[in-house]
Amino acid sequence: MEVLRPQIITIDGRNYRKNPIQEKTYQREEDEENFYQDSMEGADEPCDAYAVEQTPQGFRSTVSAPSLLYKHIVGKRGDTRKKIEMETKTSITIPKPGQDGEIVITGQHRNGVISARTRIDVLLDTFRRKQPFTHFLAFFLNEVEVQEGFLKFQEEVLAKCSMDRGVDSSVFQNPKKLHLTIGMLVLLSEQEIQQTCELLQRCKEEFINDITRGTPLEVEMAGIEYMNDDPGMVDVLYAKVHMKDGSNRLQELVDRVLERFQASGLIVKEWNSVKLHATVMNTLFRKDPNAEGRYNLYTPDGKYIFKERESFDGRNILKLFENFHFGSLKLNSIHISQRFTVDSFGNYASCGQIDFS
């Protein structure tokens, strides 16, 4: 079945098949040669969408990429670059580490330049997916009424359910960081942050203004639900967020933003729809109050991180607080928030935003 339905990688609006291979753990630089071989399976599909310039010496194409990813194109002792150059009969110029610029591919034959460009793009996409998320698109839910409602929820849960396994104050969210995530981002340069700001602005002009009608969205944060399938073994408990007028405008807005960012490649496509939720309890907070959900999967060098968790018994909480009302608020901004940072109010630092009114 995997052979008949291989994973599809989207690069610059074009889809490429990634043929199934035996999974390998990428931990050391020494593994890059084998990793290159695996990644290049099915990568030699000519793509006419690439901009290739004809020069007096032959053909030329450029690739924009953050400097953090250059090393994966170079490889140990330059082996990855040399292999691409040899197999495609091209020359590849890469800026020095820490320097911004473009990767330049030149060659005598157009197809060779295109082939090298495709291989480089597959490598960049593969290693970008292994980078930890750096930013996320979100609504802030930390208005005073909601913070007070959350603190009341925490107080009542601890008063009534603290004898239940795993329930204690350490698993509750920081009320100043309550938020509604639209999608996670890997932004590795100031240029990519600027691109994200520009795309968000285009979303506002093209459809967000029509959905919001130029006014804040009035929503309620009410009711709780859990992420997994066993209420006796809960890791994440969240509050539900919905429009006060009963419409689906909020869901439509976040789904269309997600779709646009997925199409641009800034967000990896995992879901077709955003699950509207605000995390109120998370067992990752037990050992690290600054932990951020399920998004700590890889270190920058591609090592997988396993975080051991101690679940809690949420059955009584779900029974007693099923319809708990945290409060009402007006959503007027979408923020590009940076992980592991705080502003002067204790919320996530914002790198940019759009306002509805």
pLDDT value at 7 more than 60: no
Strand partners, 238: 225, 279
pLDDT of residue 36: 59
Residues 6+ apart with CB under 8 A from 103: 62, 63, 64, 65, 70, 73, 92, 93, 94, 95, 120
Q: Report the chain's terminal Cα–Cα distance, integer Å.
A: 49
d(CA 119, CA 73): 9
pLDDT of residue 19: 56
Choose the weakest-confidence range: 44-53, 151-160, 235-244: 44-53
Maximum distance among all Cα pairs of the chain, rounded to whole angstroms? 78
Q: What is the mean pLDDT of residues 138-149?
A: 96
Q: What is the mean pLDDT of residues 222-232?
A: 94
pLDDT tens-digit profile of 243-285?
Answer: 999 999 999 999 999 999 999 988 887 888 999 999 999 999 9
Exposure string over 65-83, b if 16+ CB within 10 A, otherwise e: bbbbbbbbbbbeeeebbeb
Q: What is the phi-psi region of residue 129: left when phi exceeds 0, alpha when psi lies from -120 to 50, beta otherwise?
A: alpha
pLDDT tens-digit profile of 165-188?
Answer: 999 999 999 999 999 999 999 999
d(CA 337, CA 189): 15
pLDDT value at 154 more than 80: yes
pLDDT of residue 158: 98
pLDDT value at 96 more than 90: no
HEC string of the chain? CCCCCCEEEEECCEEEEECCCCCCCCCCHHHHHHHHHHHCCCCCCCCCCCCCEEECCEEEEEEECCHHHHHHHHCHHHHHHHHHHHHHCEEEECCCCCCCCEEEEEECCHHHHHHHHHHHHHHHHHHHHCCCCCEEEEEECCCHHHHHHHHHHHHHHHHHHCCCCCCCHHHECCHHHCEEEEEEECCCCHHHHHHHHHHHHHHHHHHHHHHHCCCCEEEEEEEEEECCCCCCCECEEEEEEEECCCCCHHHHHHHHHHHHHHHHCCCCCCCCCCCCEEEEEEHHHHCCCCCCCCCCCECCCCCECCCCCCCECCHHHHHHCCCCEEEEEEECEEEEEECCCCCCCCCCCEEEEEECC
Q: What is the mean pLDDT of residues 207-226?
A: 98
Mean pLDDT of the chain: 87
Query: What type of residue sits at position 314?
Result: G
Choose the weakest-confidence range: 105-114, 164-173, 297-306: 297-306
pLDDT of residue 21: 43
Q: Does the pTM of the predicted model rise above 0.95? A: no
Top mean pLDDT of 94-98, 257-261, 290-294 is at 257-261
pLDDT of residue 8: 56
The residue among 248, 247, 274 whose CA lies nearest residue 260 is: 274
pLDDT value at 43 more than 80: no
Q: What is the mean pLDDT of residues 293-303?
A: 51
78, 45 contact by CB (below 8 A): no
Q: How confident is the model at residue 242 (pLDDT cuts 50, 70, 90)?
A: very high
pLDDT tens-digit profile of 307-356?
Answer: 578 999 999 999 999 999 999 999 999 999 999 898 988 899 999 999 99
Strand partners, 333: 355
pLDDT value at 120 more than 70: yes
Residue for token digits 């919001």?
212
pLDDT of residue 148: 98
pLDDT of residue 46: 53
Q: How confident is the model at residue 62 (pLDDT cuts 50, 70, 90)?
A: very high
Percent of the chain with pLDDT over 90: 70
